[in-house]
């Protein structure tokens, strides 16, 4: 664009010079013509100066145009970048609005659950007391093994129900744990030390418990053995020769001193369900 302007100005300058140069040649021809008013001639230096000024002005104008075009292009790129960010923020805000709606629904659900939990919590304490009463009655009617330990556990749980430093969830867990322990008694074999009143005298004995179907004892000297009679609710002495060896073997099995084997023990026959 700049070169084209320079060529145009040069052509104009040459044309002007040609006119000035040719004018003296035609002076003789024009002498015969009627005299006309003389026009002042434009100096060549002035034409050149004007052309150079126009070139400088054209350069300045082109520089301003180039600068404005660059600034416009930069602004356009900035605008496109901002619009991309705006579009991204619109998508992000839409997702946030959905998340906020979901959180509000969750908060409403939690508030409802808290209200319901407050009502449930008021009912848990009476439930725990009823469960402990039932467990206490069960131990009382059950085969009398580890009676003191089992009753102490129930008493400890009753005291915990009234404690403020234990959460209601922990109290409930402890009661369920006691039920689990009682349930485990029904499928385990155990041997432990104790005391039995035999013939009006207390004797140190070793107890053999087989689940809940059999509870037997044998004195430490191995001379006397007995079994719990569930129907009569009392201890029954056993024949020394018939069960002495079997009970001794059962005690060794319970203590993991012997392998499991078949033994003949005084186990009551199962009763028909009513």
Q: Which sequence spans correspond to the domains of the chain?
A: 122-185, 190-254
Which whole number is the average pLDDT over 225-247? 87
The answer to whether residue 250 scores a pLDDT higher than 60 is yes
Neighbouring residues of 138: CB distance < 8 A, sequence distance ≥ 6: 182
Structure token pair of residue 221: 């000297």
Q: Considering the chain, what is the average pLDDT of its residues?
A: 82
Q: What is the pLDDT of residues 96-151, one digit of tens each?
A: 999 999 999 999 888 887 777 777 778 889 999 999 999 999 999 999 999 999 99
Residue 2: pLDDT band by 50, 70, 90 thresholds? very low
Which whole number is the average pLDDT over 239-253? 87
Distance from C-alpha of 15 to C-alpha of 22, rounded to nearest angstrom: 11
Distance from C-alpha of 144 to C-alpha of 232, rounded to nearest angstrom: 13
What pLDDT is attached to residue 128? 94
Q: Which residue has the higher pLDDT, 102 or 266?
A: 102
Which whole number is the average pLDDT over 255-273? 79
What pLDDT is attached to residue 113? 79
What pLDDT is attached to residue 35? 52
Q: What is the pLDDT of residues 69-102, one digit of tens each?
A: 989 998 999 999 999 999 889 999 999 999 999 9
* C-beta neighbour count of 128 within 10 angstroms: 20
What pLDDT is attached to residue 273? 53
What pLDDT is attached to residue 177? 96
What pLDDT is attached to residue 233? 87
What pLDDT is attached to residue 7? 44
Token pair 């005084």 in the structure block, residue: 266
Which 3-state string (H, E, C) describes the chain?
A: CHHHHHHHHHHHHHHHHHHHHHCCCCHHHHHCCCCCCCCCCCCHHHHHHHHHHHHHHHHHHHHHHHHHHHHHHHHHHHHHHHHHHHHHHHHHHHHHHHHHHHHHHHHHHHHHHHHHHHHHHHHHHHHHHHHHHHHHHHHHHCCCCCHHHHHHHHHHHHHHHCCCCCCHHHHHHHHHHHHHHHHHHCCCEEEEEEEEEECCEEEEEEEEEECCCEEEEEECCCCCEEEEECCCCEEEECCHHHHHHHHHHHHHHHCCCCCCCCCCCCCCCCCCCC
Residue 182: pLDDT band by 50, 70, 90 thresholds? very high
Q: What is the pLDDT of residues 38-53, one digit of tens each?
A: 556 667 777 788 888 8
What pLDDT is attached to residue 194? 92
Which whole number is the average pLDDT over 55-81? 89
The answer to whether residue 18 scores a pLDDT higher than 60 is no
Q: What is the pLDDT of residues 185-223, one digit of tens each?
A: 999 999 999 999 888 888 999 999 999 999 999 998 888
CB 208 within 8 A of CB 218: yes
Distance from C-alpha of 228 to C-alpha of 247, rounded to nearest angstrom: 13
Q: How many Å is the Cα radius of gyration of the chain?
A: 58
The answer to whether residue 12 scores a pLDDT higher than 90 is no
Token pair 């070793």 in the structure block, residue: 206
């Amino acid at each position: 664009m700049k070169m084209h302007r320079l060529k145009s100005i040069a052509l104009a300058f040459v044309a002007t010079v040609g006119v000035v140069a040719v004018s003296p040649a035609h002076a003789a021809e024009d002498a015969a013509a009627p005299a006309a008013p003389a026009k002042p001639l434009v100096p060549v230096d002035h034409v050149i100066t004007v052309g150079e000024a126009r070139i400088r002005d054209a350069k300045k104008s082109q520089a301003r145009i180039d600068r404005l075009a660059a600034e416009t292009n930069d602004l356009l790129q900035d605008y496109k970048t901002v619009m991309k960010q705006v579009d991204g923020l619109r998508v992000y805000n839409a997702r946030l609005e959905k998340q906020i709606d979901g959180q509000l629904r969750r908060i409403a659900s939690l508030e409802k659950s808290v209200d319901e939990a407050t009502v449930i919590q008021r009912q848990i304490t009476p439930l725990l007391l009823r469960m402990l009463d039932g467990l206490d009655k069960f131990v009382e009617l059950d085969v009398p093994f580890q009676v003191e330990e089992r009753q102490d556990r129930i008493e400890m749980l009753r005291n915990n129900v009234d404690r403020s430093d234990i959460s209601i969830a922990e109290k409930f867990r402890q009661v369920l744990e006691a039920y689990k322990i009682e349930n485990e008694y029904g499928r385990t074999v155990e041997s432990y030390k104790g005391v039995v009143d035999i013939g009006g005298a207390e004797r140190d004995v070793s107890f053999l418990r087989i689940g809940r179907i059999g509870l037997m004892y044998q004195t430490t000297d191995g001379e006397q053995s007995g079994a719990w009679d569930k129907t009569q609710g009392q201890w029954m002495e056993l024949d020394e020769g018939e069960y002495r060896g079997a009970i001794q073997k059962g005690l060794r099995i319970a203590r993991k001193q012997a392998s499991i084997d078949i033994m003949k023990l005084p186990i009551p026959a199962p009763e028909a369900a009513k």
